[in-house]
Amino acid sequence: MTHKREIQGNVIKIAGDKTATILVERRVMHPRYHKVVKRFKKYLIHDERNELKVGDEVVAIECRPISKRKSFRLKSIVGA
């Protein structure tokens, strides 16, 4: 069985029916300056029951492609 990736981020936009945009932040070490810097990426996630609101912190899990850019589905809501 394959390992499914899980991402955690904040909902920044409700993008149409059953879709939300989340912003995932990761911290990496800068190669030259050896300082921890933030890197951001946006993902579209599938929200089957339309229960997300802007500002919610969520966990999403990888799934089969649902549309061109949507390959994650909502697993749980961590906080509001």
6-79 architecture in CATH?
A: Beta Barrel (2.40)
pLDDT value for 37: 98
**pLDDT higher than 80, residue 2:** no
What is the band of 6 on the pLDDT scale with cuts at 50, 70, 90? very high
26-44 pLDDT, tens digit each: 999 999 999 999 999 999 9
Mean residue pLDDT of the chain comes to 96
Q: What is the pTM of this model?
A: 0.90
Domain ranges of the chain: 6-79
Q: Between the CA atoms of 14, 54, 56 and 64, what dihedral angle is there, to the nearest 10 degrees?
A: 10
Model pLDDT for residues 47-62, shown as the tens digit of each residue? 999 999 999 999 999 9
CB 37 within 8 A of CB 28: yes
Which residues are CB-contacts of 25 (< 8 A; sequence separation ≥ 6)?
9, 38, 39, 40
**How many CB atoms neighbour CB 60 within 10 A?**
24
